[in-house]
């Protein structure tokens, strides 16, 4: 009884020391009101007891939105080439077409990787890559057709808005027509990457030549209209302000209110150490990624501002590492992303948390946080029963020998996959695979 009194005194003191404006904003959020950009900005400015309250409110809204289940997807990344015509300042993954480390996976290798993942219980392949020069616009649909011909039930989560715009440009068709080609070829959903901060002034600074905010919105809203769900992302921890973060969240919320097509929101903090704009000091005032406090705050404010429109807030173990990712589960997040198997993009940028986490380990982090683990599909259907037991998964055992999947650093040195040797051959394959191409064109 005495302890309870002490606890009540402490929580009363916590509430009384909270800044009145922050308390008012959080009160409005709990009452179900939508927060303005100014209010979101204010939440991003919090520290100490104010920040603790922000995380508590985010946790409560998470509980109201999705309960105590924390999900993950068993998937494999297939980044089929790192050769890219663009030079985004944060990207350490891309290579020029003459560079030694440029690679390109032949179609058979893409399909082999998908098949291996499927046989190990994966339900999704995530297909994203650089933008190779002079690309045959049928390349993306051909990859999808080739995978689907062997694995009709695997979910293809593929092609960022940047890639969709590039494909449409190469095909000389509209974004809508190109998305329809991808859908007919088997794409089930799009990653909402290439968003960074949806503000053209900042996009020009950190990634000149990137698609514009209007183009990102066009791809996303068109995809949603065509029945192709997408994720939504933000990349933060570079030169953006708190107001830019809040405005980005408000924009995502507006799109979701209109289309309902976002499956989840994924905050992605900048991995800076190998990013060209950091190594070469290209952008004045560039920060070396987000701090731990900023990461927690981003997930919490995202949950609060996007509630109740976006149900799922994902935390990336690749970017934040298992310890911080686990902590974000107390600050609004309810999803840990995927097993990935071949994470390359953050690894290239200097992330050190590995390329694969098996289901058994993801479930351990979730249970340890006092929550209930569940495997999900890309579209958030639960695949495992909510029990005390952790069912064994074929990937758990396979992950004990990660060398079987090959590493990113091996890949960029592997002569078998050299871009300079293989790209022309693949383009010939694409241009002569008439049935695939005709099918992709809807013939
Ligand atoms: S982020 Fe994508 S488009 Fe930009 S350089 Fe890297 S691979 Fe190319």
pLDDT along the chain (443 residues), means of 10: 78 86 96 97 97 97 98 97 95 92 94 98 97 96 97 98 98 98 98 96 90 98 98 96 97 98 97 90 92 98 98 96 97 97 89 91 97 97 89 94 92 92 80 54 39
Tell me how far the alpha carbon of residue 94 lies from the centroid of ligand 1, in angstroms: 6
The residues that bridge with 69 in the sheet, in sequence order, are: 372
Q: Write down the pLDDT at residue 165.
A: 98
Å from CA of 210 to ligand 1 middle? 8
Cβ-proximal residues to 338 (8 Å cutoff; 6+ apart), any chain:
72, 73, 74, 75, 77, 124, 126
* Cβ proximity of 151 and 110 under 8 Å: no
Which pLDDT score, from 0 to 100, does residue 388 have? 84
Nearest CA to ligand 1 atom 2: 130
Q: Which domains does the chain have, with CATH numbers?
A: 2-63 (no CATH), 67-440 (3.20.20.70)
Q: What is residue 1's predicted lDDT score, i.e. its pLDDT?
A: 58
Residue-level length of the chain:
443
Distance 315 CA to ligand 1 centre (A): 22
**Within 10 A of 88 (CB to CB), how many other CB atoms are there?**
22
- Separation of 5 CA from ligand 1 center, angstroms? 56
Q: Is the CB of 87 under 6 A from ligand 1?
A: yes
Residue 264 has which token pair? 């989840």
Query: Which numbered atom of ligand 1 lies nearest the CA of 90?
Result: 1
Which residue shows structure tokens 């092609």?
159
Any atom of ligand 1 within 6 Å of the Cβ of 93: yes
Q: What pLDDT does 437 receive?
A: 47
3-state secondary structure string across the chain: CHHHHHHHHHHHHHHHHCCHHHHHHHHHHHCCCCCCHHHHHHHHCCCHHHHHHHHHHHHHHHHHHHCCEEEEECEEEECCECECCCCCCCCCCCECCCCCCCEECCHHHHHHHHHHHHHCCCCEEEECCCCCCCCCCCHHHHHHHHHHHHCCCCEEEECCHHHHHHHHHHHCCCHHHHHHHHHHHCEEEECCCCCCCCCHHHHHHHCCCCCCHHHHHHHHHHHHHCCCCEEEEEEECCCCCHHHHHHHHHHHHHHHHHHCCEEEEEEEECCCCCCHHHHCCCCCCCCCCCCHHHHHHHHHHHHHHHCCCCCCEECCHHHHHHHHHHHHCCCCCCEEEECCCCCCHHHHCCCCCCCCCCHHHHHHHHHHCCCEEEEECCCCCECCCCCCCCCCCHHHHHCCCHHHHCCHHHHCCCHHHEHHHHHHHHHHHHHHCHHHHHHHCCC
Query: Angle at CA 149, nearest 5°, toward 148 and 152?
Result: 45
Q: Report how far ligand 1's centroid is from the alpha carbon of 91 (Å).
A: 6
Q: Which ligand 1 atom minimizes the distance to the CA of 82?
A: 7
| Other residues' Cβ atoms within 10 Å of the Cβ of residue 47 | 10
Q: Is the CB of 131 under 6 A from ligand 1?
A: yes
In the structure encoding, which two tokens stand for residue 167, read together?
């494909």
Q: What is the pLDDT of residue 152?
A: 98
Check pocket membership of 371 for ligand 1, CB cut-off 6 A. Answer: no
pLDDT at 2: 63
For ligand 1, the distance from its centroid to the CA atom of residue 137, given in whole angstroms, is: 18
Ligand 1 atom closest to the Cα of residue 87 is 5
Backbone angles phi, psi at 265, to 5 degrees: -115, 130
Ligand 1 centroid to Cα of residue 140, in Å, is 16
Cα angle at 404 between 401 and 405, to 5 degrees? 110
Q: Is the Cβ–Cβ distance between 327 and 359 less than 8 Å? A: no
Q: How far, in Å, is the centroid of ligand 1 from the Cα of 191?
A: 14
Q: For 159, left (φ over 0), alpha (ψ -120 to 50), or beta?
A: left
Residue 91 Cβ inside 6 Å of ligand 1? The answer reads: yes
Q: Tell me the sheet residues that pair with 75.
A: 124
Specify the pTM. 0.94
Other C-beta atoms closer than 10 Å to the C-beta of 321 total 16
Ligand 1, atom 4: closest residue by C-alpha: 88
Whole-angstrom distance, CA of residue 130 vs CA of residue 95: 8
Residue 129 alpha carbon, nearest atom of ligand 1 = 7
Q: Is the peptide bond before 308 cis (omega within 30 degrees of 0)?
A: yes
């Amino acid at each position: 009884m005495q302890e309870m009194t002490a606890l009540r005194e402490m929580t009363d003191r916590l509430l009384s020391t909270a800044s009145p404006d922050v308390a008012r904003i959080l009160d409005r959020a709990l009452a179900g009101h939508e927060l303005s950009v100014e209010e979101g900005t204010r939440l991003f400015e919090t520290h100490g007891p104010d920040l603790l309250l922000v995380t508590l409110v985010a946790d409560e809204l998470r509980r109201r939105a999705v309960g105590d289940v924390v999900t993950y997807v068993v998937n494999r990344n297939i980044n089929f080439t790192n050769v890219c015509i663009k030079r985004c300042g944060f990207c350490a993954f891309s290579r020029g077409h003459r560079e030694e480390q440029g690679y390109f996976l032949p179609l058979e290798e893409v399909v082999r990787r998908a098949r291996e993942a499927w046989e190990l219980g994966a339900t999704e392949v995530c297909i994203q890559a650089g933008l190779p020069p002079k690309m045959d616009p049928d390349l993306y649909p051909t990859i999808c057709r080739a995978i689907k011909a062997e694995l009709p039930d695997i979910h293809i989560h593929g092609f960022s808005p940047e890639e969709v715009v590039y494909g449409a440009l190469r095909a000389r068709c509209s974004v809508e027509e190109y998305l329809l080609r991808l859908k007919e070829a088997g794409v089930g959903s799009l990653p909402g990457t290439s968003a960074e901060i949806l503000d053209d002034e900042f996009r020009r600074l950190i990634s000149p030549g990137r698609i514009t905010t209007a183009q990102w919105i066009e791809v996303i809203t068109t995809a949603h209209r065509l029945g192709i769900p997408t994720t939504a992302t933000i990349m933060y921890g570079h030169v953006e302000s708190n107001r830019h973060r809040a405005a980005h969240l408000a924009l995502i919320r507006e799109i979701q209110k209109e289309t309902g097509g976002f499956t989840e929101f994924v905050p992605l903090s900048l991995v800076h150490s190998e990013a060209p704009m950091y190594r070469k000091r290209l952008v004045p005032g560039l920060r070396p990624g987000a701090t731990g406090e900023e990461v927690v705050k981003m997930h919490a404010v995202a949950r609060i501002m996007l509630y109740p429109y976006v149900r799922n807030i994902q935390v990336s173990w690749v970017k934040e590492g298992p310890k911080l990712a686990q902590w974000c589960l107390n600050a609004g997040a309810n999803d840990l992303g995927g097993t990935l198997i071949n994470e390359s993009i953050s690894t290239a940028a200097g992330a050190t948390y590995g390329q694969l986490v098996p289901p058994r380990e993801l479930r351990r982090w979730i249970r340890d946080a006092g929550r209930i683990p569940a495997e999900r599909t890309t579209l958030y259907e639960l695949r495992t029963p909510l029990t005390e037991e952790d069912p064994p998964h074929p990937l758990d055992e396979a992950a004990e020998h990660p060398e079987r999947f090959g590493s990113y650093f091996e890949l960029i040195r592997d002569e078998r996959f050299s871009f300079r040797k293989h790209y022309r051959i693949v383009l010939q394959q694409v241009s002569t695979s008439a049935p695939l191409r005709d099918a992709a064109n809807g013939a």
